[in-house]
Amino acid sequence: MTATTALTPEQAHARLDKLTVIDVRTPGEYASGHLPGAHNVPLDHLDAALDALKAAAGRCDLLMVCASGARSAQASQRLTEHGVTAATLTGGTAAWSRLGHTLHHPADSPAVWAMERQVRLAAGALVLTGLLAARRWPRTRWISAGVAGGLVFSALTDTCGMARVLAKLPHNRPRATDLAATLAALSD
């Protein structure tokens, strides 16, 4: 694999037994359904996982996965900067499941909405709150304008500040033992 490789869901499905799959979504999103055998290393913990990922890449090709492919592309790029070759799954778990491929769900994890859905709820609620409050306090319409500006910026830069904030909520945060166990499994 080259440093900028992207695999389609069909290609990844055909090679799944030859890949180490790293899901870079939040633990909550991971629990909502992930590729078979995927290890959860949230994007904001990628730097701490570099040694384990280098070890895993030495044994098997890495496939980075997220919901849509955007975060996994960022992860692949960061790994490339540190000399680790990794591919990304085109279209993410959304494309994977759309094609009818199986997603696994941990038995002991509560279902959590996908980050994109959480962002849509938070953005919509903030816009609606700003508009409703503006009926009584006109300056609160700036809440809606700020969220709209953030969404435009998010689309132009393919980043999402709101997702970064929401990822820090307790239901989206990794437990230290989960990440430690994942890193140990990748290092062995």
Whole-angstrom distance, CA of residue 126 vs CA of residue 179? 32
Q: pLDDT at residue 165 above 70?
A: yes
Q: How many CB atoms lie within 10 A of CB 53?
A: 25
Greater confidence, 125 or 108? 125
Q: How many CB atoms lie within 10 A of CB 176?
A: 8
Please compute the mean of the pLDDT values over residues 63-80 and round it to a whole number. 94
- Model pLDDT, residue 111: 65
- Model pLDDT, residue 108: 66
Please compute the mean of the pLDDT values over residues 140-167 and round it to a whole number. 91
Residue 4: C-alpha distances to residues 81, 86, 109 (Å): 11, 7, 33
Q: pLDDT at residue 72 above 50?
A: yes
Pairing relationship of beta strands 39-40 and 86-89 according to DSSP bridges: unpaired
92-103 residue pLDDT tens: 999 999 999 989
- Model pLDDT, residue 182: 85
Its pTM stands at: 0.72
pLDDT category of residue 1 using cuts at 50, 70 and 90? very low
